[in-house]
Amino acid sequence: MEMKKVLNAFSLGLSQAGSQTKVKFQGDKVCVYDGEIILPSWLLSAGIEDVELALGFSTNAISHQLFPDTEAQDKNSQPVNALAQIIWAVIDDARAEGSMMADRHGTKAFLEPANKKLAQEAMENEGSNLHVLTVLVASKSVLYPSLEDGFSTVKERYIKQYSEELFDGICTVLVSEISTSEKTEAIMNLIAEAEPPESE
């Protein structure tokens, strides 16, 4: 398959979906600016998997531009704890991508492969924080059916290390109709309540 045709189709697909975003090939990184995506020039001769990832991450970045979280502009609403910041970002990622797919039909084809790869790498990484991994897979499997197997695997690992009650509590928070910050705070509270008190 000729990658230039794939990338041109991506650009055409964006315009047909109502996006004014232009696509350029320049440098060696994926960058998204107002009204412009810059994809690395090496993608023109890359394999399909690299192209899928680049398009997925680009579509993700566009989703945050089109559907920003108004809370993100209020620095007082941002979590200060490092774990909470990561969980907030993962939840907000799912929010933006869900809005993107609902409003721009067809973008799931770009987002799903990149998310599947991201989740797979996180599951294979022994250093991954299990709380973050659970939030990632639980929030994204709702959007992408291909992650359901990963959801089962992570659930089993999480229950073994923590508890089924905590896992179910996190999942319940993630599907609730509250803001990203409220979800983050609720999940952090559940995690804190589940941790044994430090010995004197």
Confidence of residue 198 (pLDDT cuts 50, 70, 90): low
Confidence of residue 72 (pLDDT cuts 50, 70, 90): low
Mean pLDDT of 150-154: 93
Name the residue with higher pLDDT: 33 or 182. 182
State residue 175 phi and psi, 5-degree precision. Answer: -95, 0
Is this model's pTM higher than 0.85 or not?
no
Q: What are the residue ranges spanned by the domains of the chain?
A: 3-66, 70-194
Contacts 24+ apart (CB under 8 A), 26-31: 30/54, 30/57, 30/58, 30/61
User: Does the pLDDT value for residue 200 go beyond 50?
Assistant: no
Q: How far apart are the first and last CA of the chain?
A: 64
Confidence of residue 175 (pLDDT cuts 50, 70, 90): very high
State residue 24 phi and psi, 5-degree precision. Answer: -125, 155
